[in-house]
Structure 1
Amino acid sequence: MTQPTHSMPMTIPAINKGISLKYSEKMNIPFAERIALAEKPIPELKPGQVLVKMLASPINPSDLVYLMGKYGLPPQDGAYAGFEGAGTVVAANAGMYGRWLIGKRVAVSAEPGNDGLWAQYAITRANLCLPVRKELSDAQAATLIVNPCTSVCLVDRARQLGSKAVVLNAAASQVGKGIIRYAKMHNIKTIATVRSQKNVKPLMDLGADAVLLTTSEDYLAQLKDICHQFKATVLLDAVADVDTPTVMSCMPRHSTAVVYGRLTETQHPIGGQFSVADVIFRDHKVEGFWLATYFGQAKPWQVLSLSRKVQKLFALGIFDTDIFGEYDFHNFSDGLEHYAVNKSDGKVILHPNAVSL
């Protein structure tokens, strides 16, 4: 094996500390009981991989779904969790690009099938590391990939489909807020749906063209009226299950649901529902979006272009991830439990190498 290279002396410990998954098929146990602080040796880098000293890593809805064993990747008991973060590349076995990355602060995604990023050090593929601008804090850099890139890709897909307006559920999420900001830049109207009254005014202030409360008695009537008024033919769907056909039933003919998550509280395996009648007689379509698939299929220049676009939006203040709290290993479980039931409060950020926060 080619030995990892580095451009400056760096001390790399033999042992890595992180938050590992304690997988259980029981569904109604606290998230804090699904994780454990663990230590394991740092393995040698395989070709194409880099070693990153982690600076910050957020909790995303996908992390919660993974901890429950309902994500698209099977849970690995004892594996470090965490799909996204930011850190400094300290060693590489990945050719010229890997050597160039050494010493650089990067936004990073976990390599599917390997340990995640809720750890002091993480091994991932070099092409899953994106150098970040100095203007971004570690916490903001750690949230660069999953939510902002998803927001941009979803709005760009709506543009490809020719929609003049989009419906977005779970709109108070970080992806939802990013969609509202980015869609406004492209003159696409946004119809946001939320479950809590406290989220209505903030989303209107953010620039949403309409915010509907799903608990209102006339919610569906309001939704149908405004969907036809705005000619909203794309649903950006983070909830799935029965919400997909419910919302689509209020939308015009030839509408498309782009499903990118499933926040529905259910114990059933991954899945969803759709209206067969709407698909047949109203030409409704359902498609999926997973950022990991996008990165896997995109050309390197497309990924770098997306990264530059998103970072520019951060620098301009158009994107700005809400941060609820920043934690170290000792109090992370408190932040995890809070985020599990208060996602709209903002991100919970883990600082794996912090001594104390």
Structure 2
Amino acid sequence: MKKAQYAQRGPVPQDVIEAVEFEAPPLNAGQVLIEVLASPINPSDVLTLTGEYGLLPPLPAVGGNEGVGRIAAVGPVVSHPQVGQTVLLPIQGGSWATHMVASAKGLVPLPDGADPKQLAMITINPPTALLMLSEFVDLQPGDWVIQNAANSAVGSYLIQLAKLRGLRTINVVRRESAVEAVRAAGAEVVLVDGDDLAKRVREVTQKAPIRLGIDAVGGVATQHLAQSLGEGGVLVNYGAMSGEACSISPASFVFRDVTLRGFWLSRWFQAATPQRRAEVFGEIGRLVASGQLTARVQATYGLDQIKQAVAAAAAGERDGKILILPNGPV
């Protein structure tokens, strides 16, 4: 058994992590041993390695917070899930490993016939997209939504989920080279960010009011989205890819009653009831299993290639997610 462990944090994330051998402890009552099939590297994972994320585990730690696995063994008094069942890995850290020990209680079963690589990515990005579409504004079919970082994993899921709900999207990217990939993901409108974004948005929508904006960039990009919203619109920020604080003119607040909100999936997990979590992941799991919800995968790596994998995930331009396959191809 192996795990990708780090004992310190530093500015170059791939330098602080390495694959090491370990032995799983005996299973206690209520525990299961999970064989990890696939686990992605998310931006939050990279920021955790550099020490810049909002929630940092004590050191030493095992990387990864998301993935999918198969029950390999069960401890005493465990009746469900059974050996062989595909499950969502618990969000407790440590998914970059060949095996994990976890409590059987609360594990989410997943369709056994679905692609493990697609299932591995459903814990963070799809619920982030789904909840931002549903928790802040009561949108109706035909309504417009505008988002930046549309070429990100969350952006791609948001495009697909919006289309399934009959919503129309304006998708903003920061470079011309990203436009075609976003169109290939099914985007109806793709625009490159700029000071005149609001003017171009009004032309595309024929001045239809936009009630919801999704911001992952921060800096002046936040202002560009705020200017594109209609009166009383809600702008939801969930990241700062620019590395800058959100910049927004008081005029958007005072004269057009725009609201700026924040979204952090970890906080939602803390507040959501088990029933609500099951509803969200049940919907996402069904959409992934049916092929209606997918994400691009740029490359897969074995656990012994963890340094190369983290370096690839931290690179500026990618066309898809980096996945760790700890036990080989799936």
Structure 1 and Structure 2 fold alike (TM over 0.5)? yes
CA RMSD after TM alignment: 2.9
User: Residues 68 and 181 of structure 1: is their aligned pair in 2 closer, same or farther, counting only changes over 3 Å?
Assistant: same
The offset of 1:38, in angstroms, is: 2.9
Structure 2 residue corresponding to 1:107, chosen from 67, 77, 88: 88
Is the partner of 2:80 in helix, strand or coil? Answer: helix
| TM-score normalised according to structure 2 size | 0.86
The offset of 1:344, in angstroms, is: 4.2
Is the partner of 1:229 in helix, strand or coil? Answer: coil
Give the structure 1 partner of residue 56 of structure 2: 74
1: CA distance between counterparts of 2:323 and 2:156?
A: 18
| TM-score normalised according to structure 1 size | 0.80
The offset of 1:93, in angstroms, is: 6.5
Give the structure 2 partner of residue 206 of structure 1: 185
User: Residues 117 and 293 of structure 1: is their aligned pair in 2 closer, same or farther, counting only changes over 3 Å?
Assistant: same
2: CA distance between counterparts of 1:217 and 1:279?
A: 19
Is the partner of 2:304 in helix, strand or coil? Answer: coil
Which structure carries more relative contact order (alpha carbon 8 Å, separation 6+)?
A: 2
Give the structure 2 partner of residue 23 of structure 1: 8
User: Residues 158 and 209 of structure 1: is their aligned pair in 2 closer, same or farther, counting only changes over 3 Å?
Assistant: farther
The CA deviation string for residues 254-285 of structure 1, in whole angstroms up to 9 with x for no partner, is 1112222232246xxxx645444433443221
User: Residues 135 and 102 of structure 1: is their aligned pair in 2 closer, same or farther, counting only changes over 3 Å?
Assistant: closer
Q: How does 1:245-264 map onto structure 2 within 5 Å?
A: 245-264=223-242
The answer on whether the counterparts of 2:218 and 2:243 sit within 8 Å (CA) in structure 1 is no
The answer on whether the counterparts of 1:50 and 1:94 sit within 8 Å (CA) in structure 2 is no
Structure 2 residue corresponding to 1:185, chosen from 128, 150, 164: 164
Give the structure 1 partner of residue 209 of structure 2: 231
Give the structure 1 partner of residue 107 of structure 2: 129
Give the structure 1 partner of residue 278 of structure 2: 304
User: Residues 274 and 238 of structure 1: is their aligned pair in 2 closer, same or farther, counting only changes over 3 Å?
Assistant: same
1: CA distance between counterparts of 2:202 and 2:58?
A: 43
1: CA distance between counterparts of 2:48 and 2:285?
A: 27
Give the structure 2 partner of residue 33 of structure 1: 15
2: CA distance between counterparts of 1:169 and 1:94?
A: 49
Q: How does 1:197-346 map onto structure 2 within 5 Å?
A: 197-214=176-193, 218-223=196-201, 225-226=203-204, 229-265=207-243, 272-342=246-316, 344-346=318-320
Unaligned 5+ runs, structure 1: 1-15
The offset of 1:218, in angstroms, is: 4.1
Is the partner of 1:262 in helix, strand or coil? Answer: coil
Q: Which amino acid aligns with 1:290?
A: W
2: CA distance between counterparts of 1:318 and 1:64?
A: 28
2: CA distance between counterparts of 1:184 and 1:63?
A: 29
Query: Higher mean Cα deviation, 181-190 or 224-233?
Result: 224-233
Give the structure 2 partner of residue 353 of structure 1: 327
User: Residues 117 and 252 of structure 1: is their aligned pair in 2 closer, same or farther, counting only changes over 3 Å?
Assistant: same
Percent of counterpart pairs with the same letter?
28
The offset of 1:166, in angstroms, is: 1.1
Give the structure 2 partner of residue 8 of structure 1: none
Unaligned 5+ runs, structure 2: none
Is the partner of 2:150 in helix, strand or coil? Answer: coil
The answer on whether the counterparts of 1:94 and 1:126 sit within 8 Å (CA) in structure 2 is no
User: Residues 256 and 228 of structure 1: is their aligned pair in 2 closer, same or farther, counting only changes over 3 Å?
Assistant: farther
